[in-house]
Amino acid sequence: MVPGILARTAILALLWWIITQGEVGAWLIGLPAVVLAAMASVSFGGAALSRVSLLGLPGFVALFLRESVRGELDVARRTLAPTLRIQPGFKNHRLQLNDPSARIFLTNCISLLPGTLAARLDGDHVEIHLLDASADPEPDLRRLEQAIARLFDLSLETNDA
């Protein structure tokens, strides 16, 4: 509990420092705000987010940026073509991540990455809307899940049902 508060206070203080661009007088408001926000954030839970592994961070950021550019170019080609080359549809994906906050993080990443949109999170399944439902999104989703598991230092459920 206590290390959690300390780490969050440090991160929030860093954020405040960036937002105020190092303005010294702003700490008068910033210090109490940072401490209160850290306490509030601990009481909200979000266990996985306090466990971000610095080893997993570069891998995840690289994957996210690479996939964003690759997917966006593909989507732009499809939507700007004289006749729309899309085939929208839904697919179900079974989540291998167990942790609730990591699952929400994954759903948000799916929505931000081009071509996929997480429509509904239901138990251990997420319903994904695809701009091109003829392609199989599974390999990309697996890679994303693995990167997020490494980011939060979690293990994936590996029973292949």
Partner 1 sequence: MIEVMASLLTVSGVGFYLAGSIGLLRLPDLYSRLHALTKADNLGLGLLIAGLALHTQDLLIALKLVLIWLAVLAASAASAHLIAQHARRRETQS
Q: Which of 10, 15, 29, 36 binds partner 1 (CB under 8 A)?
A: 15
Q: Which stretch binds partner 1 (CB under 8 A): 33-41, 44-52, 106-114, 141-149?
A: 106-114
Q: Is 88 exposed, middle or buried (0-12, 13-18, 19+ CB in 10 A)?
A: exposed
94's tokens: 């079974």
Q: Which stretch binds partner 1 (CB under 8 A): 25-33, 82-90, 91-99, 136-144?
A: 82-90
53's tokens: 């592994």
Q: Which of 131, 141, 148, 149 binds partner 1 (CB under 8 A)?
A: 131
Q: Which of 66, 85, 94, 120 binds partner 1 (CB under 8 A)?
A: 120
82's tokens: 């004289």
Q: Is 40 in the site for partner 1 (CB under 8 A)?
A: no
Q: What is the CA radius of gyration of the chain?
A: 19
Distance from C-alpha of 111 to C-alpha of 155, rounded to nearest angstrom:
23
| Residue in this structure with the two tokens 């942790």, named with its chain if needed | 99
Q: Which of 119, 133, 135, 156 binds partner 1 (CB under 8 A)?
A: 119
